[in-house]
Amino acid sequence: MSATIDLPQVTDCTATSCAYNHDGCHAFAVTIDTTANCGTFLSLNEKGGLNVVAQVGACQRTDCTHNQALECRAPSITVGAGQSTAGCLSYQAA
């Protein structure tokens, strides 16, 4: 038996070079990696994703106050553009 939970949404993303970002993040779910970067960031000219608002599927940043059992429990997150990637701006050290 499995339980479902409400996953936090990506309410804003300024990584305009990401293929999933076109008027917001349209990946089904993003992963935040061990350095608090968006592991789903993909730099392509082609735009992709679904007609949904992205959710945080997993968080590998174990020292974040929002991380519980490798899942993000923040109400929502924002993602910001970096030089060659994007980072979770909602990260807060525990």
Summarised one tens digit per residue, pLDDT across range 45-74 is 999 999 999 999 999 999 999 999 999 999
Residue with tokens 């730099």: 43
Strands 71-72 and 76-81: unpaired
Q: Are 25 and 57 in contact (CB under 8 A)?
A: no
Confidence of residue 83 (pLDDT cuts 50, 70, 90): confident
- Given a cut of 90, whether residue 6 has pLDDT beyond it is no
Summarised one tens digit per residue, pLDDT across range 14-31 is 999 999 999 999 999 999
pLDDT of residue 84: 81
